[in-house]
Structure formats: structure tokens, C-alpha cells
Structure 1
Amino acid sequence: MKYYLVAIAMLCSTVASAQIAPDLDSISLSYELEELIIQSVRGDEYVGITETTVNKKEIEEEYNGEHPIFMINKLTPSVYSYSESGANMTGTGQMRLRGMAQERINFTLNGVPINDMLDQGVFFNNFTDITNSISSIQVQRGTGLSTNGTASYAGSVNFESVSLDVDQPKGQVQIGAGSFGTYRLNGNMYTGLLNNKFALYGSFSRLYSDGYRDHTSTNAYSFFFSAGYYGKKDFVKLTAFDANAKNGIGYAFESKTSLDQHFTTNSLDENTKDDFGQQMLSLQHTHKFSDEFKSVGTLYYNYSGGDYFDWVDPAGTFAYDQWGNYPLQNRHYGAMLNLLYSPNETWFVNTGAHYYIFNRGNQEAVSTNLANPYHNETSQKKEFSWFAKADLSLSKFTFTADLQIRKILMTLRPDLATADPGETADIDKDWFFVNPKASISYAASKQLALYASVGWVSREPTRIDILGGAFKLDRNNYDYAAGDNFKEEKVHDIEFGAKYRQEKFVINGNLFYMKFNDEIAPVGEVGEFGVMIRQNIDESIRYGVETDFKYQPIKKLSVLGSFTYMKSEIKAISSNGVSSDRLTGNEAVLTPNVIYNLGIEATPTQAMQLGLSANGISKSYLGIDNSEDYLLPDFALLNARIGYTWKNLNLNIEINNLLDEEYYTNGAPVDTDYDGTADGPGYYIGAKRNFMATLTIHF
């Protein structure tokens, strides 16, 4: 697909000469129809949910090429993000929301799901530098509103791609360079409206970096393309991207002793590399039947896959003594239909259905015979979901009711050549969930809005959970996978919040209480490839307060930030049916009590922008036993940003970790003497003082 994207992106620049002055009156409706694509899956400021929406201006001010989760880290509460490479532009990045990993967060692009449906995570290193093609990001914390794809459990993140409604052709080129041998090139182009009917956007990016941690380099490219057709009652939008990254791997947690001796150590072989990419194609059509009734239809295809080179164990004896390859392919097909009905200013009804098929192929082969893999298995997941949401506005009140139904079928097909006799049958799992939500908001004044919401959400375990932390289904875990070792997890979420806006002061604050039954959570053990081992926790809770604000005391100075204080507690937990009372009252793994981001921004002249920020987290535990010997220590970082604009040029310099602190971003107990028992904490590291400079040329 990438060759077609290159050709289409080049077309953006060549057809710009055909620009005809647009008839804005004739296409204003179509622009409204374009907005329906995102409105059908998001909540607006009047809906009573806990959310933060980051707009295009905020993205452009902060973005320097990092994974989008690091943008979210900077600009929204209760998030901290990290990468196995130690840098924010390279390696496999991960995000935690309210202490919960991204496998429990729903991610969509224009409402199209981008999670891996089986393992439920997102691999942002597969599509590096996508943020330049994003116009807004909405983060809903808690159960939020019904969305497409994986359950909105810890929360959801919706990316909106760039809008095509620009008045005239424009574009930009970004050239970046920074620490760790990092180089970045990005160019994009908008055609504006052509013949009052068509608009195109294309973007290309190239990134190379050595990475901060030893042999965690990245060599990546990405293409992003969007095209729109504007009719009197129709809008059609094609969105596509193709991206690939070749990465040095650093998933291993390193012991504190090793890091004290050499802070950037990576015990994995320098030849341990992967070569993965992701492609997406979506076609979305909005239609106006009448002023009251509109529809949004979507067809999409998502592919991800590649090769991972490491030691292999063909005999299944845990003796990794041969060099080999782990190919993986995901193919994801889906269709969605949303119907939106608003007979008057009092009612708004949105209902939709979503169906997808997700196919996975896993292989393993030794280097001497890569063409004939010794392990070849497939997995499939199908889901049909339906939701209905109704908003009722009466005077200063807005009431929202939201109901989602999900039916899920998962089939795991073992490799017949490597399975034992009697262990060749497919393993079928199925789930049926009913997830209701409701909220109320009250516009107390033009400045102040209050809200309350409640939501019940159930969610299925991941494929990795079902396999007991393994990546493949074989004779070692067939019986375990065929059993019922994981229950579905459930959360009851209650939120109370307030939004206050004045010309110089904006603040959002909320209280949350989340009660879990059978929460699927990490326990402090590590499986294959650095994956956390999880189990059901019978009863647990998380509660806290979140706030984000911006204050402008004078025209050229702003103070902004976010702050979270939360607590987690295990109420009941059992193992093999036996209660573990000693763990009752303990905190959840990797759930810090405090997460904060604070900043000062100044514009001493019209051309210059200055920023100083601090961010950090408090300590958290690496195991559910809450041993003080296994901690992820707290950290606090100081960062600076300098921007300068001259005519059509903009220079942005970002300096991170000004005080050159050594700190850890993620951790787990590790077994350094290989006796089968953890004997110390292991960590991922964060980069010491580093910088990134980006020159943007607008035309």
C-alpha cells in the first residue's frame, strides 16, 4: 500500500495548481458533515464525563516528534508514559492511566479502533510520527462514553486526524536533530478545496535514532494520507497510513546492580531486533437525510506485522540455544454505522453498530530453516457491538443515558505439528457484555458547569492472559488455555466534577471512585518478552482527585498544569480458591499516589516563546505484597522549551531532564541468579539530560 500512498501524497502538491476559489456557502454543510465523524464517538463540553481535549494549537506548541502518548503525558491528568529505549521517540512506548496499563485503554483514530484486539495494546512505534497528522486528542478517564473496539475500562483516547477544510494550499517541512544521534524529517501538504468538491492531505516522515539505552536504535518511516469529497448532502473521507520501524530491542528489566554499574545497560543481544509496521485504510461516509437525521458509515482495514529476531527454543525445553525468528501478522477488518437524530434542541440521539474480524498468525523458525517454521498457529476474534446514547437538555441540565452491548468470540488454533495428541482441538472462548452508563451535567453559570456520572463496564481477558503470560499456544500451556483460569473483569465507576472557565483562568477538577470485581491486574512477575503476569483480583478499588488548569495573570505569561492524587486498595484476593488475607489492604502494582505536570509559559516578544515545566510521580510498588525492597522510586524532572518564529520559519528547542537526573520509568522483580526466585528489583530507565531541536518551514 505504501507505493500508492507515496503517489497520492505527491499528487497533493501537483494538483494544488488547480485550486479554484471555494464557494464557502455551498460547502459549509459538508464541513459540518466532516465534523460528524468525530462527534459520533466523542463527548462535548456539555456531556457529564471526565475528559480532557487537546487541540491542534496545543499539539503544535508541544510536539517535537515523540510518540503521541508522551504528548498525552504532558497535557492530561493521571497519565504517565515510558519507553523501553529510555527516550520518548524510540522503542516500544507504553502508557498508564490511573495506574492501569494501555491494554485496558481504548484507542481510536476517527472512531476506528487501533488496538490489537487479541492482546489489546497499541504499538505506537509501528507508526512513528503520526502526531503531525492529528488535529485533536480527547482522553476520557474512567468508563466515559461507549466507543468502538476494546472496552473503555481505564479510559479511552480518541485521535482526530487533520481536517481538510483549509482555505488555500499550504504545507510545511520539519527538520529535527537531537540527542542520541536522533534525526527527523517530516513534510506535509494540504491542497485546500479543489473545484469546490475535493481536498487532499499528505504527510511523509523519516526518523533515525540510536536510542538512549544501549542498542535500542530506531530506523522508521511513515506515510499518512487523507482525501475528502464534499457534496451537498454527503461527505466522503479516505484516511490511510503506512509505517514501519526497525528497532533494537530492550524489553528486559535490568537489575539495579547492573544499572548502578552502567546506567544504559541492555542485557539483550545487540542483534536482537524487530522489523514491524502497521497499515490502516478507512473509508467514511456521512450523509444528511434531513436537518434532524444524519448518518456516518465506516469501512476499515488494519494490518500490523513483521519479524522479531531472537533466540528460539524449538524443543520447548526452555533451552534457548538457537538463533531464530518470530514472524507475526494481524489482519483486522471492520464496519461501523452510526445514526444521529436531533429533532430539536432538547434531544440528541446517537446509535451505532460495529462488527469486526481480527486474525492473527504466529510463527517460530530457526535461522537455518526460516522458510519452514517449526511452530505455526492462528487465532481469531470476532465482535459485534451495539450502542445507543441519548442526551436530553432541559433548561440548565443535560441528562445522558448510554448503553452498549458486546458479543465476542475468540478462537485459538494450536499448531497441529507441535501439539500433543489429544491437544489439537480449537479452544473457543465467548463473552456477552451489557455496559450501561449515565450522567447529568448542570450549567450553573456561563463560567461554571457541574457533572456526575456512573458507569458499569465488563471486559474480557487478553489472549496473553488466557495463555498464562505466554505468546504462543503449545503443549506447555494448552490445558491452561483450555481451562477457565481468567474471569471477565468488571468496574463500577462514579465521577463527580466541575469545569470553570474565565477569560484568564480555566480549571477542571473531579473526584473518582472505581470499584473492581475480578480485576485483571499485574502481580509482580514477568513472563516472556517483558510481559507482566496478571491474575484476577477478587475485589479492589481506586479513588482520587484529578485537576488540570491554566491561569494567565498577564497577557504574556501563563501558568498551567495537572495534578492527580489517588489511592488503590486490594479488598480481597485468592489464589487457586485460597484467600490471601495477608495481601488485603495492599496497593495495586505500579499505581503511584501522585502524578503531576506543572509549567510556566512566557512570550517576552511576539516572536519568542519560553517554557519551563516539571513533571513527576510518587513511588509505587512492583509487587502486590508491597515489599519496600521492590519499589519504583519517585522522580521529578525539570524541562525547558524555547521557540522562535521569524516570518515562515519556526525553531523549537526542547531540553528534557535539565538537572541530569537518573530515574526509572517502569519495573518488576527480577531473578538475577536464575534460581527461579526474584531477588531484586529490575527497571526500565529514563533518559538523562537530552535535547531535540526542530526547524519548521511553512509555505
Structure 2
Amino acid sequence: MMPKARAVSFINLPDFASSVNNIQIQRGVGTSTNGASAFGASLNIQTTTRQDSAYAEINTSAGSYGTVKNTVMAGTGLLNNHFSLDARLSRIASDGYIDRATSNLLSYYLSGAYYGKSTTLRANVFAGKERTYQAWNGIPDYIIGDPAYAATVGVKDVRRYNELGLISGDDNYSKAVFYKDQVDNYQQNHYQLLVDQVISPKLTFNGALHYTKGGGYYEEYKKDQKVTDYGLTPAIVNGGPVNTTNLVRRLWLDNDFYGITYSLNYRPEAGTNLILGGAYNEYKGAHFGNIIYTSQSAGITPDYEYYRDDAKKTDFNIFTRGEWNLGKFLLYADMQYRHINYSFLGFDRNLNNVQQDAVMNFYNPKAGVTYNISNSSNVYASFSVGNHEPNRNDYTNSTPQSRPKSENLKDFEAGYRVAGKNYSVGINGFYMLYKNQLVLTGALNDVGANIRTNVDNSYRAGVELDGRLNLTSQLTWAANVTLSTNKVKNYIQVLKDDDTKKFIEQQYGKTDLPFSPSFIGGSEISFRPFKSAEIALLSKVVSRQYFDNTSNQNPTGYTIDPALANNSFAANRYLNGYFVNDVRLGYNFAVKGLKSIGITLLVNNIFSTKYESNGATYAGISGGYVYNYNYFFPQATRNFLASVSLKF
């Protein structure tokens, strides 16, 4: 089980889903059993479970943009009624939709288990390695929104433009030369030991030791860099100083994450379950940068290190949870204490970069009740409090005066679920009230990470509906919809006037939280014309999303430059809503010597809808006008992926 919160990225664990038995995503404050830091949402992953029979499987996929995926899996089944071993080896490669957005991903997974009468032991070892060309800046508005201008600089397809790694040819993109090693190169190795122990008929223990070793860098070509920004004294060449140079740098991360988690489950009587659990984890990360090449002599040694920031985070938590079945009622209560300590290199009040500490203590209570109306329907309600610390970048990019505060969330939930022979329906209402929520400003830092700031009061409120209907024995429809309002109260925006060098402050009454669509819908219509064959239509609709917290409003007295009025990408700070559809075709059959052969064809975005799923904005004022400097991440038009699976 791997709990994760705040943000999830699987590029360092390519094809991990092939070793996963179950994935559950829960919005809102998660229970303590989901992990200590479950705040706005939690993701729970259960890896491969026991299989009693030996097996082997080969999966091969190929598709658009040079995409290739190869997976080999095998398992011994249960040996001598006690032992099992499962293994997987994977490779994924693609040219990418964006220019030069290539990827080469490798991974493996090993899991060995012992099953005793009252003891289960499992050891997991898995790793992933990625080498991906950088495409994290997005496409600027003056390219994607102005094809006429883009054509004058040699851009033929404005939706696939990638500015990163440019060495020469600034005036013509089609003739430009790019740095071939403008890449993110990183590897993670994971080691886990899990134990389940039945101590008595009423008492069980679950525990896990884990260690993750990560290491790698992203390498980039940077033009016209000031040598003083790298702690260098300008070298004297031909009697004059070399103040700037083109260079190649590597920004490294060498990190270790390790700890222990545990829980004791006590069932004193039928209908009562008491849990005592917790965890202690440490994270150590060494961040440092090297210069490996300069076009001008800068007087540096090979692999010159121009910065280093060693950080450490300790995270301790303990919780107790009780569950009681009282007739038709199920009640639970959960109390968690969490202690966090950050040690990091950051700015002090005098803007000196010194080692500092931040200590936080959180108390997170939760309670809920479910009433079973019948065997097929119930209603429920819950209230939870969650607190969450800022992340490392929030600290290192601030001073004690501007240091972000921890977030507090009060989460109210209530819902109703009912299931019948041919249908199931659920409705859930939520109100998430935030204090000091860390929200996105819309901007990205120089490595593509989001920049955040505290807002005093904000909330998310809405209703979620999901259902499944068996229309016939062959035709099934499943759908989900979320309607919500996501607001910041009294947001204050600060912009710099490039002409006067002064800061302009604007207060807005109530605005939309960034990247928070008010409508999200999904649908899957599945038709099985005959046994082992499927035709499915998958649809997704997402409404408008704003980049920042202004709801596309401008400060009083300022407007967008009229010259940009015809370029909606430059004039507006939002993503347009979109509606996309995919088709999945599948057929499984068996032949002699094979358990099954599976053939799948996935056609994504069948109507070639042009849409952008993410973006960024950097607002500023110049010449009396507001300029947004927007960047967009367009998604591929119609594309294909065909797969063949052989099971032995």
C-alpha cells in the first residue's frame, strides 16, 4: 500500500500500473489509515496480490508519435503452500506530441511473499528510470495564438512548438539548432518489507519498513548567462572581462526517504474495531548544481559546483480510530497527531542564505456516521479537519517575513448510495472550508513547478454524482459528474509596473480558484456484441479553468493592449472548456498453448478536438497595459495505440 497526497507523478515509476491490483482516489480529508498527510485528496495503491497458479504474460503496444511499450510479467504462483514470487520488466518510449518531447522509460518490479498460518511477509523491490527531453515551458501565446507571426519565424505547427534547448537560429525555428541533451535524467529505487501478524483472534498487527533512493539531474543549455550569478569572477580575455557566457548546467537531486509505518487492530467484540497506528519518516535531499560547459572561458574547474542546498524533513504521526456497528448505524471517530520538522537552506531577514528550521504540530480529528436504510442503500455524513505543511520550495523561495503558513481544511461531507440488480447510483455533497490555503498564482518557476501563495479564506463546495446502468445484458453505461463552486474571498494581486518599478496592488472581492473547473463529467458506454469482445466510447467534459486567482479581471485603471485583442491566447488568462472522446476496441480469445490472447485498439480524441489541458501565466504592467505572458500545454489530436497481450 502506497499512500500519496498533494501531487502525484509516476514518470519515475513507468508502467507501475501493470503491477497494481487496485487504485482508489478519495477527494477531501482522508482517514488516518490512508496516510498522515491526506489533505485535499488521497491516492491509495494496492500492488499485486497473491496468485495461486503460475503465470506469464507478454504485452506489446505501439502507436502514434513513435510510441512503444513492452512489458513482460511472470509469477510462480503458490509454492509449497507458503511462497510466491512475482516479477515485471517494462520499457516505454515515445517521440512525444510536442517537438523533441522524447521519452525513454525503464522499470522493473519484484515481489516475494511468505504465507504462514498467522504471519504474512512480503518484500517488494522496484525501480524506475526516466530520460525525457524537456518540454515543460509550454507554448507561448505569441506562437500558439498568432499563426501568422509564427510562420514568419519558421514555426509550421504552433501546437507542437518547443523553445527549450535553443542553441542558434533564433530568427527561424525551422532552421534552429537545439541542444540534444536538454533532458531530465532521474532514477528511483524502492525497497519495502511488509508484515501482517495475527497475534490473537482479536488482535492483529500490520507494519512496513521502506527505503527509497533517488538520484539524477536535469541538464540544460542556457544562453547569455551572467557569470556573477554563478558565483564567478568575470575572466579577462583580450584585455576585457567576460561578463556573460553560454553554458550547460546540471541541477542535481540526490535524495533518501525511509521510515516505518504500523497499525494494531483490536476487535474486542463483534461490531467494534479499534486501531492504533502511526509512522515515522525521514527525507534527506541534496540539491546542487554543476556547470559542465561554457562557450567562453569563465575560469571554472570541470563540473564546477555553483550551489548546494541540503534539506532534511522528519515526519512523525500517531493516530487512534474507532469503528462501531450499532444496529443500522456505523459510527467512526479518528484522532491524529502529527509533528513535522524541516531543515533547509533559505533566506533570512537580511536575505542571507542560511540553514533554518521550521517546526509544526497538527491535530486532525475526524468523525462520521452511516445509516443503512436497507441492504442496498445507505446515507452518510462526516466531518474532518486536516492540516498540511508548505512544501520545501515554499520555504526556500521566501523570507521569514513572507514565509507561507500551513493550510487548514474543514471538510463536511454527506451522501446517499443505492444499488439494484441493474443499476447503482451515488450522490455526495461536500463543503471544504480552507484557512490559509496555498493556491497557485498561475506562474511556474524555472523547472516547471507551480508557484503558490497563501490566501486567507477560500472554499470548495459542490455535489458529485456517479452511477452505472445495465441497459441490456450487452450494453452498460457508467457516468460521473461534479458540479462545484471554488472561490477565494478577498484575493489581493500584486503586479510590478516595469516602467515605474513600483508594485501595483489590487483587491478582488470573490474570485475563482485557479485550475478548478465548475463542471467535470465523464462517461463510458460499453457494448459487448459477443463474448470476449467490447466496443467502448469514453467521453470527458471539463469547463473553463482560470490560470490565476483573478477570474480574468484586470487591476483598476489597466486594460489589455488593444494590439493583443485578436489573440485570445494572449488576452485571456484561462483554459477554454473542452469535450473529448475516445474509442476502445477489445477482443480476447484462447488458442492451444495459451490461456488467452488479447487485442486492443485505443483511438484517442477521435474527433481531433484541439484543446489545452494546462497552462501558466506571468502577469505584468508595461506602458500602461497589462501583459499576461501566457503559456499553454496543447494535447494531441487524433492518435492511436494498438496492443497485443499473450497470457501463458
* TM-score, length basis structure 2: 0.84
Say which of 454, 460, 470 aligns to 2:389.
460
Please name the residue that 2:111 is paired with.
226
What's 2:510 paired with? 585
Q: Deviations over 1:598-642 (max 9, x none)?
A: 121011011311001210200011121111621110010011000
Q: Secondary structure in 1 aligned to 2:393?
A: helix
Q: Name the CA shift for 1:317/1:623 in 2 (closer, same or farther; >3 Å).
A: farther
Amino acid at match of 2:116: G
- Note the alpha carbon deviations across 1:177-218, whole angstroms, 9 max, x for none: 001101110011121111111011101101111011111111
Shift of 1:679: 3.1
1:284 is aligned, of 170, 182, 194, to 194
Q: Which residue of 2 aligns with 1:437?
A: 366
Classify the secondary structure of the residue corresponding to 1:624.
Answer: coil
Instruction: Tell whether 2:64 aligns with 1:179.
Output: yes
1:245 aligns with 2:130: yes
Name the counterpart of 2:442.
524
Query: Matched residue pairs, number?
Result: 569
- The amino acid across from 2:478 in the alignment is L
Bigger relative contact order (CA 8 A; separation at least 6): 1
Per the TM alignment, residue 672 of structure 1 is displaced from its structure 2 partner at its CA by 11
Residue 147 of structure 1 deviates from its aligned partner by 4.3
| Matches of 1:455 and 1:407, distance apart in 2 | 18
Instruction: Pick from 25, 37, 62 the counterpart of residue 139 of structure 1.
Output: 25
- Does 2:345 match 1:447? no
Q: Return the offset for 1:674.
A: 11
Q: Which amino acid aligns with 2:24?
A: Q
Residue identity in the other structure for 1:429: A
2:499 match: none
Counterpart of 2:549 in structure 1: which amino acid? Answer: I
Correspondences of 1:10-409 after superposition (within 5 Å): 110=1, 112-113=2-3, 121-147=7-33, 151-164=37-50, 166-260=51-145, 261=147, 262-269=158-165, 270=178, 271=180, 272-311=182-221, 315-316=228-229, 321-368=246-293, 369=301, 371-409=303-341
CA gap 1:320/1:560 in 2 versus in 1, 3 angstroms: farther
The offset of 1:275, in angstroms, is 0.8
C-alpha separation in 1, matches of 2:211 and 2:221: 32
Q: Distance in 2 between matches of 1:113 and 1:442?
A: 28
Does 2:578 align with 1:631?
no
The one-letter amino acid of 2:76's match is T
- Amino acid in structure 1 at the alignment position of 2:581: L
Any conservation in 2 of the 1:649–1:696 contact (CA below 8 Å)? yes
Mapped pair 1:664 → 2:596: no
Specify the SS of the correspondent of 1:555: coil
Shift of 1:399: 0.3
Task: Give the drift of 1:276.
Answer: 1.0
Out of 423, 428, 431, the residue aligned to residue 357 of structure 2 is 428
SS at match of 1:598: strand
Instruction: Give 1:504 deviation, angstroms.
Output: 0.9
Task: Indicate the SS of the match to 2:142.
Answer: helix
Residue 138 of structure 1 deviates from its aligned partner by 1.3
Q: Aligned residue for 2:641?
A: 692
| Pairwise CA distance, 1:516 | 0.6
Name the structure with the higher helix share: 1
SS of 2:228's equivalent in the other structure is coil
The equivalent of 2:597 in structure 1 is 649
Q: Does the Cα contact within 8 Å between 1:669 and 1:678 map onto a contact in 2? A: no
- 5+ residue gaps, structure 1, are 1-109, 469-479
Q: Per-residue deviation at 1:249? A: 1.0
Instruction: Output the CA distance in 2 between the equivalents of 1:151 and 1:356.
Output: 12
The change in CA–CA distance for 1:484 and 1:197 in structure 2 (over 3 A counts) is same
SS state at 1:180 partner: helix
Residue 508 of structure 1: aligned partner: 426
Q: 1:665 to 1:436 in 2, by over 3 A?
A: same
Please give the secondary structure, in 1, of the residue aligned with 2:12.
helix
Q: Which moved more, 1:484-493 or 1:243-252?
A: 484-493
1:526 Cα offset (Å) = 2.8
**Residue 521 of structure 2 is aligned to residue 596 of structure 1:** yes
Deviation digits for residues 663-684 of structure 1 (CA, Å, limit 9, x no counterpart): 0011122479999974343211
Between the aligned partners of 1:437 and 1:607, the Cα distance in structure 2 is 45
Q: Deviations over 1:542-588 (max 9, x none)?
A: 10011221110211110012111110111234579x99784221111
Alignment of 1:543 with 2:461, yes or no, is yes
Change (3 A) 1:551 1:542: same
TM superposition shift of 1:304: 2.1
* DSSP-derived class of the 2:512 partner: coil
- Please, what is the CA RMSD of the aligned residues? 2.5
Task: Indicate conservation of the 8 Å contact 2:66/2:95, yes or no.
Answer: yes
Contact 1:631/1:681 (<8 A) preserved: no
More strand by share: 2
Q: Distance in 2 between matches of 1:170 and 1:183?
A: 24
Output the CA distance in 2 between the equivalents of 1:154 and 1:301. 26
Letter in 1 for 2:373: A
**Which of these two proteins has the greater Rg computed from alpha carbons?**
2
Answer with 264-273 or 142-151: which moved more.
142-151
1:129-171 alpha-carbon deviations (Å, 9 max, x no partner) = 000100001111111211465621111000000102x221012
Cross-structure match for 1:20:
none
Distance 1:179 1:204 in 2: 23
User: 2:123 is matched by which residue type in structure 1?
Assistant: L
- Compared with structure 1, are the counterparts of its residues 400 and 649 closer, same or farther at alpha carbon in structure 2 (3 Å cutoff)? same
Tell whether the 8 Å contact from 1:572 to 1:581 is kept in structure 2 after alignment.
no
Q: Tell me by how many angstroms 1:322 deviates.
A: 1.6
Partner Cα distance (2:346, 2:514) in 1: 32
Matched letter for residue 167 of structure 1 = D
| Alpha-carbon contact 1:223-1:242 (below 8 Å) kept | yes
Contact 1:382 1:408 in 2 (8 A): yes
Note closer, same or farther for the CA distance 1:380–1:548 as it changes in structure 2 (3 Å cut): same
Distance 1:450 1:641 in 2: 35
**SS state at 1:604 partner:** coil
Name the counterpart of 1:608: 533
Task: Summarize deviations over 1:217-239 as a string: whole Å, max 9, x none.
Answer: 11111101111101111000111
Say whether the 8 Å CA contact 1:547–1:562 is kept in structure 2: yes
SS at match of 2:303: coil
Asked if structure 1 preserves the Cα contact closer than 8 Å seen for 2:477 and 2:525, the reply is: yes
CA contact (8 A) 2:438 2:453 kept: yes
How much has 1:422 moved relative to structure 2?
A: 9.1
**Matches of 2:479 and 2:389 in 1, distance apart?**
35
SS at match of 2:270: coil
Q: Output the CA distance in 2 between the equivalents of 1:268 and 1:339.
A: 51
